[in-house]
Amino acid sequence: MKKFFEIISNIWKIEELRNRILVTLGLLVVYRFGAQVVLPGIDTSQLAELSSNTEQGILGILNAFTGGAFANASVFALGIMPYISASIVVQLMGIAVPYLQKLDKEGESGRKTKNQITRWLTIGICIVQAPAYLYSLGALGVPDSAFLLGKGLNFIVPSVIILVTGCVFAMWLGEKITDKGIGNGISLLIMIGIIATMPQSFVQEAITRWDGNGGPMLILVEVILWFVVILASVLLVMATRRIPVQYARRSASGGYEKNVMGSRQYIPLKLNASGVMPIIFAQAIMFAPGLLGRTFNDTAIGQWMEVQFQDIFGLAYNILFALLIIIFTYFYTAITVPTNKMADDLKRSGGFIPGIRPGKETGNFLDKIMSLITLPGSVFLALLAVLPAIVVKLMDIQAGWALFYGGTSLLIMVGVAIDTVQQVNAYLLNRHYDGLMKTGKNRKVA
């Protein structure tokens, strides 16, 4: 405990880190506050049916991703998911569109242009989703009397503008957290929304068990199992394979001495280099089949899709979900781990992998290793993602609490938390290095 308070004290002493944490917390509070602000013209006292209809199924996950804003008919009801969808489209188009491929090679300026394209596409998606959300409120249990201004254009048009603005504002909050705060802003917004639903889900499950369906002992078993799943998720996020790298010794002239070996280091290749992004991407796509089925439920294919993909614990849903996660894990790993660039950097710095020729062969070797270790990583990630469905079938756990047994919710929480902690730790290590310099062990060069 003393060590913990010492770490907190060290974090608070670093002015830049302290300011970043305060900015992050402040922007997250703004986002949570916005999730409670209901659209103008809707009677909040008549939204109880909407809340009950969005507790389970695909709408339950969507509501969790928005931190309850979807069920509150909030100005943030669309959440950050349109931005996630736009990011998926832009990254997939980057494979086939030469212009986007060119932007990837332009460095920072190209990245800014792609971000701008993603923002405009987000607005386009919001313009489509906002009216669909408003017109679906009636089907989700909101009575006509709750619409104080009616359902005409005098309500629809301002509400669409507000919903689009809310999504853009949430996107801006996420980008500001990334730039001025700590951690990945978009992922943090999703995580904070999920955490907001967690205490209520656990309390409901505990009350159900305590009233006779299993008793306190089963509650204890569920909590222990939950921590085991958390540990498995952490191991998946942190697991790496180290590739040994040998460096040639530099000569006095600045070149490299032949057959004279210098330092030996390792390249850490993660078992799951893509983090939680495959989960987020796959979940964003999994919203589509159920919503399409609900939209076209007057057709046979629409009714089949609605039945199969509205149940997030069903067989068809989880098979497709697992396959999408495996595919996106490979896809995201391919674009985030530049094996050819790693090989070129090694060659320029005089490094090589023992038994592998520098340059192209090294790139091919690293690419092969990444493909081999990504397979078990993606399968394990998919198994954790569909674990809630298994738990519901075997232990009869309530749907809301089951989502935290692996699945989208827990994996996002663990992945984002670890990423944020690693960034904080990097600041602490840098501060420690500065402290050594000030003690006189290292002298600053003017």
Is 196-446 the same fold as 1-181? yes
Q: Nearest-CA neighbor of 159 among 170, 148, 144, 175?
A: 148
- Extract the tokens encoding 195: 């955490």
| Domains of the chain by residue range | 1-181, 196-446
Phi, psi of 291 (to 5 degrees): -70, -35
> DSSP 3-state assignment of 398?
coil
One-letter amino acid at 265 equals Q
Strand order in the sheet with 351-352: 256-270, 240-250, 351-352
One-letter amino acid at 328 equals F
- How far is the C-alpha of 65 from the C-alpha of 199, rounded, in Å? 15
Residue-by-residue pLDDT tens, the chain, 446 positions: 667 677 777 778 888 888 899 999 999 999 999 888 899 988 888 888 887 777 776 777 778 778 888 888 899 999 888 998 888 888 878 777 888 878 877 877 888 898 899 999 999 999 998 998 888 888 788 888 888 888 888 889 999 999 999 999 999 999 999 999 888 888 888 888 888 878 877 887 788 777 766 667 777 887 888 888 888 878 877 777 777 877 665 555 555 555 445 566 777 888 888 777 788 788 878 877 877 777 777 788 877 887 778 778 888 888 999 999 999 898 888 877 888 888 888 888 777 788 888 888 888 888 888 888 888 888 988 888 888 888 888 877 777 777 777 667 787 888 888 888 888 888 877 765 433 334 334 433 33
Q: Supply the DSSP string of 92-145, one letter for each residue.
A: HHHHH-HHHHHHHTTTHHHHHHHHHHHHHHHHHHHHHHHHHHHHHTTTTT--GG
Tokens 């710095």: give the residue: 349
Secondary-structure class of domain 1-181 per CATH: mainly alpha
Find residue 243's DSSP bridge partners.
Answer: 267
- How far is the C-alpha of 214 from the C-alpha of 363, rounded, in Å? 55
DSSP E strands: which ranges in 223-350? 240-250, 256-270
CB atoms within 10 A of CB 339: 20
Q: Is the CATH code 1.10.1760.20 the one for domain 196-446?
A: no
> DSSP 3-state assignment of 8?
helix
- Extract the tokens encoding 308: 């199969």
Q: What is the pTM of this model?
A: 0.75
Q: 3-state SS string over 184-231?
A: CHHHHHHHHHHHHHHHHHHHHHHHHHHCCCCHHHHHHHHHHHHHHHHH
- How far is the C-alpha of 67 from the C-alpha of 35, rounded, in Å? 7
Q: Nearest-CA neighbor of 155 among 167, 168, 173, 142?
A: 142
What confidence score (pLDDT) does residue 213 get? 65
Tokens 């999504």: give the residue: 167
